[in-house]
């Protein structure tokens, strides 16, 4: 009986599932954060206006060419294939057995980075041109403009897409089982193999995957709301003076 | 009087479209200059060239006698000396009113937070927006936004204020509050260069009026001359057309 087996497997092997889920969450959180950082760096570099000086122009164009290649290659190949190529590639080249967990995080990070780079670029472009102009007009350079004016707005706009990447990562870390990273899919396979109960084991896995992605989605939605701030503002009156000026200043 | 900005033989083309042709003019310290002219005459482009939001195709722009188009010139430091007010306000959406007036001071001028706050509050008071320090730009009306934008520019304590049609995007009932603030600044002796369609305002506030047409300065002089006894035929036509509408 299936239900019995589900309960049996869940009660007997829950530490394995839990460890697998932990690894999955660990890799996808770090991978998403790293990918997000990579995406922002690449996105900011790719939006630098083309300078007038010839040598600067050549430097920028070559950097952009490298970044474009990176984005295109990693978006254009499946992560499961990248995992094999990078993992076995490094073993072949350096003759050392790299840490599988590290390899997994590395692969998820650069893969997410490639997607995030395009998302960030889109986010930056979507910010009104007037915001750039106003920032330039008070003397900010490209990086100040990005850091204090454009990116905070762009990041707010790309938050839903970033959440999406996170959810995709939770699911897609399952492909890392090909390099034997002990994430949820790998653990489930082991459990299933021990008992020859594939449906039951993977049914439990699917429930765990869903709980993780659903929770993450909710948390991100909450953060989005928080970032938007309160609908109303308080009027600045004398007795509130110190306090309000304090809090207003802290936002910078 | 000391010339703050001197524009020499300035030209600007967008592709094959020549927007500015051989512009020569200057702004002295404490002077209020209004630039008038029909849409597409190059007024805004001239203003945007002066703080290098547009790169001039030819000519020189001297700031206190130094050519800012020189490669070695630090355009970022120069821009802090030019306060710019835009038609579309362009307040930083991620900052509240006080933040808008502080971020440039702290990050560009490297002022301390306390000093920046004090200066920002001072100018917010000047424009009458000191009660709204906590408001986000989207919570303000057009006129309020523009007044904050003026305070933001003033907080950098620039040598010259550039106004690019500051009231053109406003509802008619809000034009007055912004013009009132600008008039106050003019009376305080600030150097101002204003692109405007508000003829009454120009007549009242300007020390000198520049009339532009088809990318050239057609005529310039004191407001009495431009508005009462224009020399050029084009100026007369333009004024007749605009004043009739009012």
| ipTM value for the complex | 0.91
* B residues 163-222 lying closer than 8 A (beta carbon) to A: none
Is it the case that residue A40 has pLDDT exceeding 90?
yes
Minimal CA separation from A249 to chain B, in Å: 6
CATH of the domain at A171: 1.10.3720.10
Q: What is the pLDDT of residues A93-132, one digit of tens each?
A: 887 778 889 999 999 999 999 999 999 999 999 999 999 9
Confidence at residue A97, expressed as pLDDT on a 0 to 100 scale: 77
Average pLDDT over all residues of chain B? 92
Q: What is the pLDDT of residues A173-217, one digit of tens each?
A: 999 999 988 899 999 999 999 888 889 889 999 999 999 999 999
* B residues 146-165 lying closer than 8 A (beta carbon) to A: 149, 152-153, 156
Q: What is the pLDDT of residues B85-116, one digit of tens each?
A: 999 999 999 999 999 999 999 999 999 999 99
The CA distances from residue B105 to A113, B92, B116, in Å, are 34, 14, 6
Q: Do A135 and B107 touch (CB under 8 A)?
A: no
Q: What is the pLDDT of residues A11-31, one digit of tens each?
A: 888 999 999 999 999 999 999
Q: Do B117 and A247 touch (CB under 8 A)?
A: no
- Which of A138, A229, A248 is opposite residue B98, by nearest beta carbon? A248
Maximum separation of any 2 CA atoms in chain B, in Å: 55
By residue range, what is the domain housing residue A202? 3-251
Q: Do A148 and B77 touch (CB under 8 A)?
A: no
Q: Do A139 and B53 touch (CB under 8 A)?
A: no
Nearest to B160 by CA among B10, B53, B4: B4
Question: Do residues A32 and A162 touch, judged by C-beta distance below 8 A?
Answer: yes
The CA distances from residue B83 to A228, B151, B156, B163, B227, in Å, are 29, 10, 7, 8, 28
Confidence of residue A239 (pLDDT cuts 50, 70, 90): very low
Q: What is the pLDDT of residues B122-166, one digit of tens each?
A: 999 999 999 999 999 999 999 999 999 999 999 999 999 999 999
- Non-local (6+) Cβ contacts of A130 within 8 A are B86, B88, B89, B90
Nearest to B20 by CA among B241, B192, B213, B202: B213
Confidence at residue A188, expressed as pLDDT on a 0 to 100 scale: 92
For B21, the 3-state DSSP assignment is strand
B73, B91, B104, B112, best to mutate vs chain A, most A CBs in 10 Å: B104
Q: What does the alpha-carbon distance between residue B66 and residue B54 come to, in Å, rounded to a whole number?
A: 19
Residues of chain B positioned with their CB less than 8 A from the CB of A156? 94
Minimal CA separation from B70 to chain A, in Å: 13
Residues of chain B positioned with their CB less than 8 A from the CB of A140? 76, 104, 107-108
State the count of interchain CB pairs (< 8 A) between A and B: 111
- Which of A53, A139, A237 is opposite residue B104, by nearest beta carbon? A139
Q: Do A149 and B113 touch (CB under 8 A)?
A: no
Residues of chain B positioned with their CB less than 8 A from the CB of A153? 93-94
Residues of chain B positioned with their CB less than 8 A from the CB of A251? 95-96, 99
> Is the minimum CB–CB distance between B45 and chain A shorter than 8 Å?
no
Minimal CA separation from B160 to chain A, in Å: 12
Residues of chain B positioned with their CB less than 8 A from the CB of A144? 107-108
Q: What is the pLDDT of residues A128-162, one digit of tens each?
A: 999 999 999 999 999 999 999 999 999 989 999 99
The number of folded domains in chain A is: 1
Query: Which residues are B174's β-sheet partners?
Result: none
Minimal CA separation from B61 to chain A, in Å: 16
Minimal CA separation from B130 to chain A, in Å: 7
Closest residue in A to B163 (Cα–Cα)? A137
Closest residue in B to A234 (Cα–Cα)? B134
Question: Do residues A135 and B92 touch, judged by C-beta distance below 8 A?
Answer: yes
Minimal CA separation from A65 to chain B, in Å: 26
- Non-local (6+) Cβ contacts of B47 within 8 A are B35, B162, B163, B164, B193, B195
Q: What does the alpha-carbon distance between residue B172 and residue B109 come to, in Å, rounded to a whole number?
A: 36
Minimal CA separation from B158 to chain A, in Å: 9
Average pLDDT over all residues of chain A? 88
Confidence of residue A226 (pLDDT cuts 50, 70, 90): confident
Q: Which residue has the higher pLDDT, A238 or A143?
A: A143
B133, B135, B162, B168, best to mutate vs chain A, most A CBs in 10 Å: B133
* Phi and psi at residue B109, to the nearest 5°: -85, -5
For chain B, give the percent of residues with pLDDT over 70: 99
Nearest to B166 by CA among B188, B185, B139: B185
Minimal CA separation from A237 to chain B, in Å: 7
DSSP, res A51? P
* Phi and psi at residue A76, to the nearest 5°: -95, 0
């Amino acid at each position: 009986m299936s239900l019995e087996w589900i309960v049996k497997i869940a009660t007997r092997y829950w530490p394995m599932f839990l460890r697998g889920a932990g690894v999955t969450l660990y890799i996808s959180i770090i991978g998403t954060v790293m990918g997000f950082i990579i995406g922002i760096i690449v996105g900011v570099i790719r939006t630098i206006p083309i300078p007038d000086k010839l040598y600067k122009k050549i430097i920028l164009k070559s950097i952009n060419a490298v970044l474009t290649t990176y984005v295109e290659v990693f978006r254009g190949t499946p992560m499961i294939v990248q995992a094999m190529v990078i993992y076995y590639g490094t073993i072949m080249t350096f003759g050392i057995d790299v840490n599988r967990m590290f390899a997994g995080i590395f692969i998820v990070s650069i893969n997410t980075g490639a997607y995030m780079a395009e998302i960030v670029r889109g986010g930056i472009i979507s910010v009104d041109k007037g915001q750039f102009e106003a920032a330039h007009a008070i003397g900010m350079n490209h990086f100040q403009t990005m850091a204090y004016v454009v990116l905070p707005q762009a990041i707010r706009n790309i938050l839903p897409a970033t959440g999406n990447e996170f959810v995709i990562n939770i699911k897609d870390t399952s492909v890392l089982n090909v390099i034997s990273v002990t994430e949820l899919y790998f653990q489930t396979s082991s459990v299933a193999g021990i008992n020859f109960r594939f449906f039951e084991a993977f049914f439990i896995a699917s429930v765990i995957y869903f709980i993780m992605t659903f929770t993450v989605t909710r948390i991100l939605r909450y953060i989005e709301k928080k970032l938007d701030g309160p609908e109303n503002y308080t009027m600045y009156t004398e007795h509130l003076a110190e306090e309000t000026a304090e809090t207003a200043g802290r936002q910078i | 009087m000391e010339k703050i900005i001197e524009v020499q033989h300035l030209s600007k083309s967008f592709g094959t479209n020549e927007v500015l042709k051989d512009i020569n003019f200057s702004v002295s310290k404490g002077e209020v200059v209004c630039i008038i002219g029909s849409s597409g005459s190059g007024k805004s482009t001239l203003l945007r060239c002066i703080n290098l939001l547009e790169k001039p195709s030819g000519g020189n722009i001297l700031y206190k006698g130094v050519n800012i188009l020189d490669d070695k010139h630090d355009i970022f430091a120069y821009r802090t000396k030019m306060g710019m007010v835009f038609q579309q306000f362009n307040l930083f959406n991620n900052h509240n009113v006080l933040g808008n007036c502080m971020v440039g001071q702290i990050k560009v001028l490297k002022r301390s937070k306390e000093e920046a706050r004090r200066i920002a509050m001072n100018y917010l008071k000047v424009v009458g927006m000191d009660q709204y320090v906590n408001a986000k730009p989207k919570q303000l009306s057009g006129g309020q936004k523009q007044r904050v934008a003026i305070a933001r520019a003033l907080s950098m304590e620039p040598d010259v204020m550039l106004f690019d049609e500051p009231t053109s995007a406003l509802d008619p009932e809000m034009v007055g509050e912004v013009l009132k603030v600008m008039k106050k600044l003019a009376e305080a002796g600030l150097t101002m260069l204003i692109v405007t369609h508000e003829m009454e305002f120009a007549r009242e506030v300007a020390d000198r009026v520049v009339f532009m047409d088809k990318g050239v300065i057609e005529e310039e002089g004191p407001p009495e001359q431009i508005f009462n006894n224009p020399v050029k035929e084009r100026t007369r036509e333009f004024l007749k057309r605009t004043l009739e509408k009012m």
